[in-house]
Chains A and B, each alone.
Chain A
Amino acid sequence: MKALRNTFRQFGQYPSAVIGLAIVGLMLIISVYTLITIPYNEAIRLWRGGEDVWYKYPKNAQPEWINFFRKSPLPKTVFLSTKDSTADKESKTVTEDMTQVTVSFPIDFSYDSYPQELALYFTSKYTSKKPHITLSWETPDGRTVNLASFSVSADDTYRLSQDTKISRKFKGLPPMQGLFADPNAKLDGGVPPTIKGQYKLVVEATLFEKGGDVDVEMVLHGDVYGIAGTDHLRRDLKIALLWGLPLALIFGLLAALGTNVLTMIIAAIGVWFGGLVDEVIQRITEINLVLPFLPILIMIGTFYSRSIWVILGASIALSIFGGGIKAFRAIFLQVKESPYIEAARAYGAGSWRIVFLYLLPRIIPVLIPGLVSAIPTFVFLEASLAVLGLGDPVLPTWGKIVQDAQAHGALYQGHYYWVLEPSVLLMLTGLAFALVGFALDRIFNPRLRGL
Chain B
Amino acid sequence: MAEANLPLQANAETPAEEKKGQSGSSAFTRVAKYTIVRVVTLFLTVIVSLYLTIIIANMGGYVDEIIKGSIREEIGQRFVADPALRNLPPEERMKQMEAMIALREHEKGLDQPIAVRNVNFLVNALTLDLGRARNMSSDTGSRLVKLILLERLPSTLVLFATANLINFFLAIFIALFLSRRYGSLLDKMTVTLSPLSSAPAWFYSLFLILIFAALLKWLPFGGMVDAPPPDTTIGYIGSLLKHMLLPILAWTTSVIFGAVYGWRTFFLIYSSEDYVEMAKAKGLSARDIERRYVLRPTLPNIITNFALLLIGLWTGAPIFETIFNWPGLGRTLVQAVGLYDTSVIVGGTVISAYLLAATVFLLDFIYALVDPRVKIGGESSKA
A residues engaging B (CB < 8 A)?
16, 20, 283, 286-292, 294-296, 298-300, 302-304, 326, 330, 373, 376-377, 380, 383-384, 387-388, 402, 406, 411-412, 414, 416, 419-420, 423, 426-427, 430-431, 433-435, 437-438, 447-448, 450-451
Contact = CB atoms under 8 A, between A and B. Distances in A.
Contact of A289 (B195, B319, B356): B356
A434 B265 contact: no
Given A384-B202, A427-B199, A430-B199, A416 B210 contact: yes
Given A330-B383, A388-B319, A412-B214, A295 B334 contact: yes
Contact of A431 (B196, B272, B315, B333): B196
A323 to B, nearest CB: 10
B194 A287 contact: no
Contacts of B50: 290
Given A290-B356, A298-B337, A326-B383, A451 B45 contact: no
Closest 4 CB pairs of A and B: A434-B195, A376-B198, A303-B59, A290-B49
Given A380-B203, A451-B265, A302 B196 contact: no
A424 to B, nearest CB: 9
A434 B191 CA distance: 11
Contacts of A286: 42, 45, 360
Contacts, number: 128
B195 A411 contact: no
B53 interface: yes
Interface stretch (B72-80, B134-142, B223-231, B345-353): B345-353
Contact of A302 (B194, B210, B265, B337): B337
A296 B53 contact: yes
A298 B196 contact: no
Interface of B: 41-42, 44-46, 48-50, 52-53, 56-57, 59, 62-63, 182, 191-192, 194-200, 202-203, 206-207, 209-210, 213-214, 221, 265, 268-269, 272, 315, 318-319, 322-323, 333-334, 337-338, 345, 348-349, 352-353, 356-357, 360, 383
A327 B45 CA distance: 21
Contacts of B206: 402, 411, 419, 423
B334 A294 contact: yes
A435 B383 CA distance: 31
Contacts of A430: 195, 198-199
B49 A291 contact: yes
Contact of A303 (B63, B210, B268, B334): B63
20 contacts: A16-B192, A290-B45, A290-B352, A290-B353, A292-B53, A292-B333, A292-B352, A295-B333, A298-B337, A330-B383, A377-B198, A384-B200, A388-B319, A411-B214, A419-B206, A423-B207, A431-B196, A438-B194, A448-B265, A451-B272
A411 B63 CA distance: 36
B198 A300 contact: no
Nearest to B314: A292
A145 B202 CA distance: 53
Contacts of A291: 49, 52-53, 349
B349 A447 contact: no
A207 B290 CA distance: 93
